[in-house]
Structure 1
Amino acid sequence: MNQQGLDCVLMPAGLTIMLAYHLWLLRRIAKHPTKTVIGVNAINRRHWVHTMTVASAGNGSSSKHSRQDLVLGDRSKLGLSVKLFSILVCFAFALLLNIEAVRYYSHVRILINVPLRGRRSPAHLDTVMNKGSYFWSGGLHAFYLSLPFFLWIFGPISMVIRRLLLVCFL
């Protein structure tokens, strides 16, 4: 099978592996949140927000190679363009998610220090804090997704191997 044939077979296989993992992870978070790091962290953030709001209510304050080697036989400009565009999309998506995480964390930082009378409920702070965390986690996963795309430049076999290793790692 030639390079383009492998690309057409192994790239969707690699993406399917990542999609299956993330669907499994979402289901696991929804059904058994204490068995995932994301779920445990959400619970801990909820406790932290509660502690910060109770503490601040009590004392009135809170604490603060060469080009030839690079393409490895895939000489079509379209093939290389698709690979580079895929990397770019992953990075752009990761950046977008991380910017949103910073936005939500910034809101929590401000809201947690508002005097008790003007402050929204701890449940609202918890929701905002967890949204920031979910965006941060999504940004990291988008960044992780981009790494196998880099290896795809060197061939589809290395990309699939990297995706399998990444799912085991995650």
Structure 2
Amino acid sequence: MEWKKCYLDVLLVPLSFMITIGYHIWLWYKVRNQPLSTIIGTNNHGRRLWVSTIMEDNDKKNILAVQTLRNTIMGATLMATTSILLCSGLAAVISSTYSVKKPINDSLYGAHGEFMVALKYVTLLLVFLASFMCHSLSIRFINQVNFLINCPPESTVTCDYVSELLEKAFTLNAVGNRLFYSALPLMLWIFGPVLVFVSSITMVPMLYHLDFVFGNSKKKDKMDEIANGV
């Protein structure tokens, strides 16, 4: 009986992961080849121009740079704190057998044996830990940029180097956010695999409309050529 209940978990949960991972692989391909057709690529291009502008006129814009980076650190810190707090809550739930098993016994679909329950909570815990790590590393890179962006023009620190550090910081921040978002379907997995599948196929179209710039394709192609040359 337990194996029959596992059928939906075995089929729908991996399929949900494949849909989400496949979308992000395609998004990564678009960011690499047509950066200005995506929000991520457009923002990366804009940040490179911003770093160049700040470092060329550092005497007048150094305070602006520090304030902007400080706000970015505050956002990443909030996400990192939220992730580690959720990790602590999940660890407390996992440590209590009664708390873990009781909500699952009323589940209508999927398995809710001890192994499956532990797998659900541990997977969710690992996702939040990975999100925390990404946001922590993002804060580390932004702190480095915070110092280097105010270096004098005659120093060995170049705009390209600072831009690369800032791009790494925002890439890690984006990965941490996506991991945090992916925890929502995993939370719903506690109540059954059907909700995981429905949540995944609903989230992907929403992310698509948030990740891509819609407009004149010819104009974007020309801008992509300019961006690739930067």
TM-score (norm 1): 0.91
Matching of residues 9-158 of structure 1 within 5 Å: 9-56=11-58, 59=59, 62-63=62-63, 64=66, 68-71=102-105, 72=107, 74-118=111-155, 120-158=157-195
Displacement of 1:113 after TM fit? 1.6
Which stretches of structure 1, 4 residues or longer, exceed 6 Å deviation after superposition?
none
* Contact 2:54–2:61 (CA under 8 A) maintained in structure 1: no
Q: Secondary structure at the match of 1:118?
A: coil
Q: What amino acid does structure 2 have at the position aligned with 1:95?
A: F
Give percent identity, aligned residues only. Answer: 25
Displacement of 1:31 after TM fit? 1.2
Q: Deviations over 1:73-101 (max 9, x none)?
A: 63311000000011011101101111111
Displacement of 1:114 after TM fit? 2.2
Gaps of at least 5 residues in structure 2 are 67-98, 208-230
Displacement of 1:145 after TM fit? 1.2
Displacement of 1:61 after TM fit? 6.5
Gaps of at least 5 residues in structure 1 are none
CA distance in 2, matches of 1:17, 1:9: 13
Q: What amino acid does structure 2 have at the position aligned with 1:29?
A: V
Q: What amino acid does structure 2 have at the position aligned with 1:70?
A: I
> Residues 67 and 79 (structure 1 numbering): CA distance in 2 closer, same or farther, change over 3 Å?
closer
Number of equivalent positions: 168
TM-score (norm 2): 0.68
